Amino acid sequence: MKIIETELVDCYIIEPDRFGDNRGYFSPYYIASNLKELGFKGVVQANRSKSSKGVLRGLHYQKNPKCQAKIVEVIKGSALDVVVDIREDSKTYGKWIKVLLTDTNNRQLYVPRGFAHGFLSLEDDTIFEYLIDNDYAPDLEGGIAYNDPDLGITWDEMFREYNIQKPLLSEKDLRRKSLAETNIHFKRSEL
């Protein structure tokens, strides 16, 4: 398993080993001891979503005491995964990255606690998988407006590059506020 640092503190691209031949491949895509070193506490829940091209999900987080870290990957199709560090005491607070995840590039993204997470589906029938280290708590879920101007995420460039005329968002995500308006206070030192 290869661990690749990103520009954001504590956020990593993971490339699991893949062994294959003319019959297909085998991949140990989750090794608890390797991921524990990154801060992942172990799988409590596993989720999948299916999305059409142009679906934008996010930017989501879950508040304490049920804050979540995630290991995400695409098992069918492709998506641009976008994460934002929203831990106030982190040197990369307010910064974001995007990572292309496809069913063929053998990449996962480790999203630590205290990050907002979202993705843009680039193909119809994209299946996205999440391994999560804490229970889902609907009363603690939160989110940030995907197009918060203070974050400066270059969504319009992504839409043009992948020929997406208008993103498809849930009603809830259409009503999200900016990071400054959320009153969320994650501390890296407390997660």
Q: What is the pLDDT of residues 30-66, one digit of tens each?
A: 878 878 888 888 899 999 999 999 999 999 999 999 9
On the CB side of 79, how many CA atoms lie within 13 Å of its CA?
32
Q: Is 106 left (phi over 0), alpha (psi -120 to 50) or beta?
A: left
Q: Is 152 in contact with 123 (CB distance < 8 Å)?
A: no
How high is the pLDDT of residue 18? 86
- Residue from 60, 110, 117, 146 carrying the catalytic annotation: 60
Q: Please write the tens of the pLDDT for every residue from 77-102.
A: 999 999 999 999 999 999 999 999 99
State whether CATH 3.50.50.60 applies to domain 2-190: no
Whole-number pLDDT of residue 152: 97
Q: How confident is the model at residue 162 (pLDDT cuts 50, 70, 90)?
A: very high
Indicate if 60 belongs to the active site.
yes
Record the pTM: 0.93
Q: Is the dihedral of CA 142, 149, 89, 13 positive or negative?
A: positive
